[in-house]
Structure 1
Amino acid sequence: MSIRPQYRRVSALQRQFFNREGTLAAYDEELRTLGEGPRILNVVGIGGIGKSRLLQELRNRSPKNCRTARLDLQLPTMRQQEDALAVLRMEFGAQGLKFDRFDIAYAVLWQRVHPQLQLNRRNTPFAEESDILMKILDDAMGLPVFGTAAGLVRLTGRAVKNRQRRQRIEADPTLNELDGLSNAELGHAVSYLFADELRASAQEAPYVVYVDAYEALVPTPLPGGRSFGTDAWLRDLLGQLHGGLTVLASREPLPWAAYDPEWESVICRTDIDGLPMPARLELLAQAGITEIPRQRSIAEASEGVPFYLHLAVDTHLQNPARLEHAATSEEIVQRFLQHVAPDEVRILELLSVARTFDFVVFQTISRAFDLPANLLIWESLTAYSFAYPLTDGWYRLHQLMIGALQRHLSPAVRRRVHAVLRAHWEGLADRMERGQGPGGGRTRLSPLREAVYHGLRAADITPDEIQRHADRSVVLSGRQAVDGIVKDLRHHLAARRADRVEGQDDEAVAGLHNAADCLDAESRLELGDAAGAIALTPHLDRPVRELVSARLALAGANARRIAGESTLAATIFERVWAEHEGEARPTAGFCVADIRMWQGDFAGAFSLAEEVHGICAADEAVIRADLKRLMHLGHRFLMDFDSSARLLAEAEAEYQASNALVGLANIRTNHAELYAFTDPEAAVEAASSALEVQRDLGAQHEIGKAYTAMAMAQTRLGQYERASSSFLNANAALDRAGYRSGRARADMFRAFLMLRQGDRQGTRELLVHAAREFVACQVYPSLILAIHRAAERIGVDEPELTALAGRARPAVRPLGSLDELQRRTDSVLSMFLEVGA
């Protein structure tokens, strides 16, 4: 780095101001609505976000008749009550305000604290600025320490000619009580008189006090928002500033409501975030960094924190000829670390490998490399502004530092750190699964996602291990954790194309691609995006012996089943069931049973479901629950609602035992679908509950099914307009999911609504369309029979339906006889075809 004075850093305060329109508007509104009580505009943001620069801009924007003063708590002397009041008094006094009573009280406090000094113009604060003190100090020599106030007030009566001003001082009750107060009480009285003088001035012109760096006064608040009382004087003062405005900048919101709830009505909070991209680019351009690629890289790395933008600008101004990437230049890193101890630098280099870290991560890494791991070091590290605070005690290093710090580590050391972190996160996941993790089993991060991230960079994790971690992540952290794993995998593979990772051959990379595609396809299926899952699985003839390849094949087959290619899906399911001998075998068996049922072979499906249930391991509760839910659906389609309800309750209990969020959400949909036949009023309420959950998950096919159940129930209840709206919503969601058979099922029941509304021709056309779709999708022969029976009952003579029913009948293998199924079907059709049934 070139030799230059540190003073040059202050140049950021003189650069052009950018953005912050929201805070400027809040400031203007506070000034416009000033009333009788105190008001505080709390400007909240991390270190380096530009709070000090913003306070300067707010002060510059103040109306010309507005008096202002600033208190910078970054200076140690400003954190003492007496010194802070003196600074404020001098600034306001320079703008024409008189502080007669405060000046006298402050002189009393001064002599109480400095009894060895005589009261005279040379020793007494404000002697030259206060005409009151100037007139009386020459006669004040020899006043006793504990009679100062009475003596000064008496001298004021002789020295001040203005009768009104003299009487106000002589009659002031606070001044007359000063000599009898303790030192602490005297300090409170001085604050009171200062605030009272300022409050009186507000009748002539508004005033604003700017307080910067509150955290310097209270660096470590106690839990619950309280502190050790270091800010008591400031709270006392600002609470008395009636008729004016205080703008207070802090890294965390003011916690004063912990002392008194009334503070909530006094404090208006405004958050300061990173500058938006256009403002970042403009700032860099104004500072002379005009190359577009360099601008963009600095702007992105800064994350909008002005401190780092200015730091990059200063580095550029030092040596504008340098072509090195400014966002990761060694000059910037040295500027970051110029006051950091050597041990702490080494720890920061290692922590740069972690995406985020807390105290436990810090200790884990430090101990693995024999570096200090105590609380003092931790508090020192996290006090630096480049340690970006998150929530719940988590931190991350600023992006500007990470790349350059990691370049200080050899590849072997980086891989070792990644391996240590992988083991840490896997250990945390194990504890969470036993109910021993943070926050009752949850943490702000997905531990297994982090384990995969570090395993990839340590080059010691296999595709099958990634798949297992993803499965466990769904239970621990939800489906979004798996989406995060996919994102990390894609990013890692893209980076590897440019920088080949040692120890990974092409076969391993292909396995990672398969793992990413498999997890992505399974996530898309849960969202009902069959087309997206099909696009990820174009090849259907891959080997299926490995876990990932088998799961990928099953995902592709399920997507094709939803899209209506049931025969092709069944072929793939059967192949995995026959050839795979590993962990995916129960899932394959479930899929085979599932599609057999949809194709009408209820007896074969139930028999296979029982077989698969028997081979499930003890830890495969979700698969067992899926099988129970499958049989529930089978009994529902066979119109055996009592057996269906019993199996649904058993499936729900299995899902609850394993905390399977998606399974439990689907159970809600199934409750609504079952109630549509057994209790239509309960079905509407259950469907609403299911929609709430499924919208959170984004599962379009389940949303469509829930709306279908709601519409069926509303049809039975005679709520035809609501039913029509629900069917429209169902069709929209099912079409988005590409769920042809689900849409056909909804159309079948919508036909019954149209019949009730008197549209017989529309009913006939919709029934024929639904039956054709079932044939095209190669599913639901039992529903084709139901459609044909409905047409017979309403007197619709449709030869095509008769022919379709004739071809569908041999495919239906119920648990009992076809005649029994037809009797139950007639009973259900009566619910929808006959008004009031």
Structure 2
Amino acid sequence: MPIGPRYRRVSALQRQFFDRENALSAYDEALFRLPPSDGPHLLNIVGVGGIGKSRLLQELRNRTGEAYRTAHLDLQIPALRQQEDALAVLRTDFGAQGVKFDRFDIAYAVLWQRVHPQLRMDRSSTPFAEESDVLSKILDDAMGFPVFGTAAGLVRLTDRVLTSRQRKQRIKNDPTLRDLDNLSNAELGYAVSYLLAEELREASRERPFVLFVDAYEALVPAPLPGGKSFGADAWLRDLLGQLQGGLTVVASREPLQWAAYDKDWAAVIRQVSVEGLPMAARLDLLSAAGIAEGGRQRSIAEASAGVPFYLHLAIDTYHQNPARLETTITSEHIVQRFLQHVPPDEVRILELLSVARTFDFEAFRALGRAFNLPAHLLTWESLTAYSFAYPLAQGRYRLHQLMVAALQSHLSPAVRRAVHARLRAYWEEAVDRSGGLPERGGVSRSAPLREAVYHGLHAEEITAEQIHACADRGMAMGGRQAVDGIVRDLRDYLAARPDADGSLREAADCLEAESLLALGNARAVIDLAPEVEREAGTAVSARLALAAANARRIAGESRTAARIFQQVWDEQSGPVRISAGFCLADIRMWQGDFAAAFDLAVSVYEMCGTEHRGIRADVTRLLHLGHRFLLDFDAAGELLTEAEEEYRHTADPFGSANIRTNRAELLAFTDPEGAVAEAAAALEVQRELGAQHEIGKAYTAMAMAQTRLGAYERAASSFLSAYAALDRAGYRSGRARADMYRAFLLLRQGHRGECLALLRRAVAEFEACDVYPSLVLAIQRAALRLGADDPELAAAATRARAGLHLLLPLDALERRTDAMLSLFLGAGA
């Protein structure tokens, strides 16, 4: 921390006040509802260190107005944490505003002399001798003779010096004053508090009061989670519990847990959380202090995480040395502000926990054991009771953003790496404890895998292959979001380390490409991996090559994609080879080589064990699609049911969603009414996943069914929606297939010329993409049924027949094709 006067850093109290509308509103409401005398009323302002609670109390006091008496008790001042000193401050503040404390002054004088028996009671040594009308008259009347502070003696002297009969009687008959001499010192202190509260209550009938108590945690530095604090704050609770006719505002870092002593406190205390300043308020605060608009102002505002202490620190630093603003705000300022009043042993474990983005009790225990620090439940409950520890789902916590960076600066690089290594092991163990089972939504159980990768990276002990293994495990648990999170973490890690191992960058590219493919964003994958004609040496390189090839398949570059699939299939082994085999079977199918595709698909299926159920489901779904394109709808339906069952075991949300799309496509041929409903259901789940190519296919299936049902306007609208999604995905062959079926709609609407033009365009696209020769044959037969003997279509059909390798005789496929065309062309064609 730079050397300099701490006084210079208190200027925040003099700066313009911003925001805090919720706290101001709660305070105004509490004042408005304040009865003249109806028990205690507490407003608890809660927030982390540096969030601006003291400044807020000052603003509240400034806004209170002359209709109320106010006093301020700052527990950051050590002397004011003692009962007698705190009571003296309150008596002075309220006394200066017209409150008469006759009985309190007498009782306090008794307490004072009980605690200081060596002092004689005179104007120089008696508290409030000048301010108190009663004591000043007693001491004047004594005329220099010693006065001993017994309650009975002072009451007798009061009777002699006061002229007001009413005041005499009230003092003389007060039961508390009569009992003072018989009380112990501790009991005498509580009696003094009682009399202060009583005289405040009486004065509040004409003018209510507001008491502001700042920095409660200074009085109780280490509260237990249950709220009890071994009596350190007993005198304060006793005093505030007796205050009637006014409002007490207590600022604390943690919520007051006084209901642990008496459940009635729960109805008395209203808590108001003070959160970080919104961005607009941060910028306004910096502008008002002279830090102008621009990149510097924005960077300071963002770095502050909304904590005004940071902003004021930046302002003070700027005024002292504008040129060194970014380099002179040290983490030590933040540490001291956040961890003030935190015991040293807890600070050490917090330093270790700052390395974790999220932690739970078992992670806390793992670090405590590894570094020989307290790791028992009491310490855990104490740590998580602090307001800078934010609770998350599933019993996890995170520390405040500013505090994290500050605490980590206390750890050496070697210790940080060791902590990361232990946390990686912990999160991997957490996945094992869960059994690796998928959970609804897929995120909660796969999230530890993301944490394991994050800590493995920062421990500098994880390889690209291990990262992919974690990502695959996350996908098997239905955790696509966790995989996307791993990619983000990799990108952040690499951005901070340009010279990192190139295999890590390749791993990030591969995982991102696979995620983009699941969304159907082929163009983004091509941009990410423009060089596909390269050696796929490692498993990670091979996976990236497969992703790049799949993107090109979607974009219509089927020959390039097939060549890469074949290369990976020939050169790799293990899971990557299985994936390449599936991709190769897939593209062979769409190129018309059904025989080779089916044989390869069966071989791939047999290579898959139970750990590859996702690939098995994909293969079964591919076989379904092959039979559907061969127009064998019964076999296609059976395989679709088998694939759905396989996907159910994997809990893959994309696979299950794609099954719905495929079912809608199948029903478009067999049950058009059911297809419309199924397509609507498919669209709902595909929109949640954001898979544009599947959205386009679902709209195409819906439009096909609506065409058969005679709902032509709805079908036209569905085709337009299909085009929009397919174009966003860059799915050329999918768009051409939609063109083919939209041509049938145009024919039904009486647009024969437009129908034939669209059929010719679809054939051109199929040939350009080197896919769907069976559909090329179907289009040529449709044109013949319409009486259009088109030479170009005839030539395309000849080329298609040469490329087809079927599982059935060609004439059998032609008969099935004619039956299918009758469904869509209508009775007149």
One-letter code of the match for 1:655?
Y
Quick one: distance in 1 between partners of 2:34 and 2:214?
A: 23
TM-score scaled by length of structure 2: 0.74
One-letter code of the match for 1:363?
R
- Equivalent in 385, 394, 398 of residue 395 of structure 1: 398
Alignment: residue pair count: 782
Q: Cα–Cα, structure 1 residues 55 and 634, in superposed 2: closer, same or farther, change >3 Å?
A: farther
> What's the CA shift for 1:540?
2.5
Question: What secondary structure, in the 3-state scheme, does the structure 2 residue paired with 1:749 have?
Answer: helix
- Contact persistence 1:602–1:812 (CA under 8 A): yes
- Contact persistence 2:34–2:247 (CA under 8 A): no
Quick one: distance in 2 between partners of 1:519 and 1:248?
A: 51
Quick one: distance in 2 between partners of 1:440 and 1:721?
A: 37
Question: What secondary structure, in the 3-state scheme, does the structure 2 residue paired with 1:620 have?
Answer: helix
> What's the CA shift for 1:600?
1.4
Map Cα deviations across residues 632-654 of structure 1 (whole Å, 9 max, x no partner). Answer: 11122222222222211211211
User: What is aligned with 1:448?
Assistant: 449
> What's the CA shift for 1:530?
0.7
> What's the CA shift for 1:591?
0.4
> What's the CA shift for 1:752?
2.3
What pairs with 1:625-704 in structure 2 (closer than 5 Å)? Answer: 625-704=617-696
Quick one: distance in 1 between partners of 2:602 and 2:471?
A: 27
State yes or no: 1:556 paired with 2:557. no
Question: What secondary structure, in the 3-state scheme, does the structure 1 residue paired with 2:409 have?
Answer: helix
User: What is aligned with 2:377?
Assistant: 375
User: What is aligned with 1:469?
Assistant: 470
Quick one: distance in 2 between partners of 1:473 and 1:496?
A: 26
Q: What is the root-mean-square deviation of aligned Cα atoms in Å?
A: 6.1
- Equivalent in 347, 351, 354 of residue 352 of structure 1: 354
State yes or no: 1:480 paired with 2:472. no
- Contact persistence 2:565–2:583 (CA under 8 A): yes
State yes or no: 1:714 paired with 2:706. yes
What pairs with 1:186-265 in structure 2 (closer than 5 Å)? Answer: none
One-letter code of the match for 2:673?
E
What pairs with 1:46-125 in structure 2 (closer than 5 Å)? Answer: 48-50=50-52, 53-54=55-56, 57=59
One-letter code of the match for 1:749?
Y
Quick one: distance in 2 between partners of 1:467 and 1:482?
A: 9
> What's the CA shift for 1:625?
0.5
- Contact persistence 1:294–1:325 (CA under 8 A): no
Question: What secondary structure, in the 3-state scheme, does the structure 2 residue paired with 1:354 have?
Answer: coil
What pairs with 1:293-308 in structure 2 (closer than 5 Å)? Answer: 298-308=300-310
Map Cα deviations across residues 679-699 of structure 1 (whole Å, 9 max, x no partner). Answer: 333323322322222222221
> What's the CA shift for 1:558?
0.3
- Equivalent in 698, 719, 731 of residue 723 of structure 2: 731
- Equivalent in 731, 735, 741 of residue 743 of structure 1: 735
Q: Cα–Cα, structure 1 residues 2 and 638, in superposed 2: closer, same or farther, change >3 Å?
A: closer
User: What is aligned with 2:186?
Assistant: none
Quick one: distance in 2 between partners of 1:198 and 1:721?
A: 81
User: What is aligned with 1:761?
Assistant: 753
Map Cα deviations across residues 781-825 of structure 1 (whole Å, 9 max, x no partner). Answer: 111222223333344454432332222123233322222223333
> What's the CA shift for 1:62?
7.2
Question: What secondary structure, in the 3-state scheme, does the structure 1 residue paired with 2:574 have?
Answer: coil
- Contact persistence 2:719–2:742 (CA under 8 A): yes
User: What is aligned with 1:419?
Assistant: 421
Q: Percent identity?
A: 59
- Equivalent in 412, 430, 450 of residue 428 of structure 1: 430
Larger-Rg structure: 2
- Contact persistence 1:546–1:582 (CA under 8 A): no
**Which segment is superposed worse, 363-372 or 527-536?**
363-372
- Contact persistence 1:545–1:581 (CA under 8 A): no
One-letter code of the match for 2:476?
V
Quick one: distance in 1 between partners of 2:663 and 2:437?
A: 30
- Equivalent in 518, 527, 532 of residue 526 of structure 1: 518
TM-score scaled by length of structure 1: 0.73
Quick one: distance in 2 between partners of 1:489 and 1:831?
A: 52
- Contact persistence 1:517–1:552 (CA under 8 A): yes
State yes or no: 1:491 paired with 2:483. no
What pairs with 1:556-595 in structure 2 (closer than 5 Å)? Answer: 556-595=548-587
Quick one: distance in 2 between partners of 1:467 and 1:361?
A: 24
- Contact persistence 1:628–1:647 (CA under 8 A): yes
Question: What secondary structure, in the 3-state scheme, does the structure 1 residue paired with 2:306 have?
Answer: coil
What pairs with 1:137-148 in structure 2 (closer than 5 Å)? Answer: none
User: What is aligned with 1:813?
Assistant: 805
> What's the CA shift for 1:578?
1.1
> What's the CA shift for 1:248?
9.6
Q: Cα–Cα, structure 1 residues 535 and 29, in superposed 2: closer, same or farther, change >3 Å?
A: farther
**Which segment is superposed worse, 87-96 or 362-371?**
87-96
- Contact persistence 2:53–2:274 (CA under 8 A): no
Quick one: distance in 2 between partners of 1:607 and 1:714?
A: 36
One-letter code of the match for 1:347?
I
Map Cα deviations across residues 582-619 of structure 1 (whole Å, 9 max, x no partner). Answer: 32011001001100111112222111110111111331
- Contact persistence 1:281–1:296 (CA under 8 A): no
Q: Cα–Cα, structure 1 residues 388 and 795, in superposed 2: closer, same or farther, change >3 Å?
A: same
- Contact persistence 2:589–2:626 (CA under 8 A): yes
Q: Cα–Cα, structure 1 residues 570 and 445, in superposed 2: closer, same or farther, change >3 Å?
A: closer
- Contact persistence 1:41–1:270 (CA under 8 A): no
User: What is aligned with 1:12?
Assistant: 12
Q: Cα–Cα, structure 1 residues 33 and 384, in superposed 2: closer, same or farther, change >3 Å?
A: closer
One-letter code of the match for 1:461?
I
One-letter code of the match for 2:617?
A
User: What is aligned with 1:139?
Assistant: none
Quick one: distance in 2 between partners of 1:91 and 1:556?
A: 76
Quick one: distance in 2 between partners of 1:254 and 1:764?
A: 79
> What's the CA shift for 1:208?
10
Quick one: distance in 1 between partners of 2:510 and 2:650?
A: 23
- Contact persistence 1:684–1:713 (CA under 8 A): yes
- Contact persistence 2:590–2:771 (CA under 8 A): yes
One-letter code of the match for 2:357?
R
